Amino acid sequence: MYALITGASKGIGKEITIELAKKKFNLILIARSASQLEDVAKEIQEKYAVKVQFLAADLSAPDAARTVYKWVEQNGYKVSVLVNNAGYGAAGNFDRFTIEQNRDMMNLNMITLTEMCQVFLPMLKNHSQSYILNIASSTAYQALPQMAVYAATKIFVLNFSRALKYELKDSPVSVTCICPGATDTNFNDRADIPPKAREAAEKVVMTPQEVAKISVDAMFASKTEVIPGFINKLGAFLAWLAPKAITEKVAAGIYQ
């Protein structure tokens, strides 16, 4: 049996891969960089003695999920764990970005994630027990000025995951959604997060290893929704409790 992980070449995705290797799962790694995937595959094979396959693919491309599934099927791999980790954000006013830039983000964060669940679901249902792990974000709990599209995509991931979990309650497939807060990865650099927001995040930042361990444990415990870290849980509660206009003003002040 294989666990398939998207965005597996670095950050939380790589650490989830390692957690699954520790549990002796064979692995299928998906990300854009073939060289980075090759390095991760070699490292894990040597350390954990599991089979590691990888495919370099742009998951923001249309029909990326079908491309991945076709490759998996042609090679005869049987997937019992699907981890949809790939995703990214971009900071700035909505009209700073082109239609194409926003579309690529929405494609990766929402559409490919949804379609990966859809194309792999029949295979997952063929096992006595299988799992889907979707990575959202603590931004799923509020609108986020300066990261409007990104936060909205994560709201989608959380609500889609919860609904899918309910629909599959009488099946062998368990669905878990993880909503991490600030994590020590290259997310901030790629998203071009401003200094003020980075400074605020430094006070509550978690390591990708911590987030990955919590995520994998939650998945195998069949939990529905998990926010790693007490401060992140508190932040989500306060965002729910406070008037939306206040949370949006505070967030805008941090990200401007």
**pLDDT number for residue 247:** 80
Any idea which residue has 């096992």 for tokens? Answer: 127
Three-state secondary structure call for residue 19: helix
Domain 2-255 in CATH 3.40.50.720? The answer is yes
CA gap 229, 174 in Å, rounded:
23
Report H helices in 128-207. Answer: 148-167, 187-191, 195-202
Render pLDDT for 129-165 as a digit per residue (tens, 0 to 9).
999 999 999 999 999 999 999 999 999 999 999 999 9
The ranges assigned to domains in the chain are 2-255
- What's the predicted TM-score (pTM) here? 0.93
The tokens describing 5, both together, are 């992980």
Tens digit of pLDDT at every position of the chain (256 positions): 999 999 999 999 999 999 999 999 999 999 999 999 999 999 999 999 999 999 999 999 999 999 999 999 999 999 999 999 999 999 999 999 999 999 999 999 999 999 999 999 999 999 999 999 999 999 999 999 999 999 999 999 999 999 999 999 999 999 999 999 988 777 766 766 666 666 765 667 899 999 999 999 999 999 999 999 888 888 777 777 777 787 888 777 776 6
CA distance 211 to 227: 9
Positions marked catalytic: 150
Question: CB atoms < 10 A from the CB of 214, how many?
Answer: 19
**The 3-state secondary structure of 86-141, one letter per residue:** CCCCCCCCHHHCCHHHHHHHHHHHHHHHHHHHHHHHHHHHCCCCEEEEEECCHHHH
